[in-house]
Amino acid sequence: MGGGRGVEDFTGMSATRPWLTFASPVHCYRLAGWIAPWIAVAAAVLFVVGLYVGLFVAPADFQQGEVYRVLFLHAPTAWMGMLLYVLLAGYAGLGWVFNLRVSSMMAASMATTGALFTLLALLTGALWARPTWGTWWVWDARTTSTLILLFLYIGFISLHSAIEDRRRADRAGAVIALAGVVNVPIIYFSVEWWSTLHQGATIRIGRESSIAAEMVVPFLVLTAACWLYAIAIVLFRLRCEIRERDALGELKVREI
């Protein structure tokens, strides 16, 4: 595609409007390619450390015994599922309102990772619930609203894939993302609003944790690992998305 202008011309444009610099797919593509591998390496290291500490170092729980170790993965994956949906809705909304392509592409890049984290939260939750509650699944407020979150992700991905014109797909996806974001506070506060089998939050920012310090460490390390993994994967997928849209000729030369 093309024209005769190069990156330098765009850089010149962004010199007068610096906030546009990282709204450019070109800059995003290069920045993502530069930082994503480092973040991926950091995520891998934290996963190894977190899994080792969670499996072999943290002591057994006095009530749940060894099975509580599933929660070292369950809680971080559940948090990531919710956080990624909020970010997805934010980026999709920004892309829709301000017509920012990169913002919409970021939203599309987050959907699969968010869906997988939500699926993992449900699977690990079932593996923890079987020996603890005596059943794989209950229609508890939190599990049900988390299942709805998975359906919202699947709805977003399906709708986005079903529409051939990516810009229309971005706008349609933004509608479902913004409509569904109301589900996230429902998931978070469900254990306080309704009487559920789920326990309340054990780790809260700004308050003393109700679990032992040696048990908090694997939680925090694996949460950081999940965060870094999600960032790296989303950036890699963003690069794929940019390149594919560019190949389809959807990233047009901007008239300035």
Partner 1 sequence: MTWSTAGAGVYVWSAYLITLAVLMGEVWYLVRRHRSGAVSRGVNRAPSSQVSR
Contact set with partner 1 (CB under 8 A): 1-3, 5-7, 9-10, 20, 23-26, 29-30, 51, 55-56, 60, 65-67, 69-70, 73-74, 77, 100-102, 112-113, 116, 119-120, 123-124, 127-128, 130-131, 229, 233, 236-237, 239-240, 242-247, 251-254
In terms of phi and psi (left: phi > 0; alpha: psi -120 to 50; beta: otherwise), the region of 249 is left
Q: Which amino acid is present at 117?
A: F
Which backbone phi and psi does 202 adopt, to 5 degrees?
A: -100, -20
- Least gap, CB of 193 to partner 1 (angstroms): 28
Among residues 6 and 200, whose Cβ is nearest to partner 1?
A: 6
Token output for 35: 């930082």
Residue 30 parent element (H or E): helix 25-52
- Least gap, CB of 173 to partner 1 (angstroms): 18
Among residues 56 and 62, whose Cβ is nearest to partner 1?
A: 56
> Within 13 Å of residue 183, how many CA atoms lie on the same side as its CB?
24
Among residues 160 and 237, whose Cβ is nearest to partner 1?
A: 237
Per-residue DSSP letter, 207: S
Q: Are the CB atoms for 174 and 104 separated by under 8 Å?
A: yes
Q: Which amino acid is present at 76?
A: P
- Least gap, CB of 227 to partner 1 (angstroms): 13
Q: Which amino acid is present at 200?
A: G
Among residues 58 and 172, whose Cβ is nearest to partner 1?
A: 58
- What distance in Å separates the CA atoms of residue 151 and residue 183, rounded to the nearest whole number? 11
- Least gap, CB of 3 to partner 1 (angstroms): 5
- Least gap, CB of 172 to partner 1 (angstroms): 20
Among residues 59 and 206, whose Cβ is nearest to partner 1?
A: 59
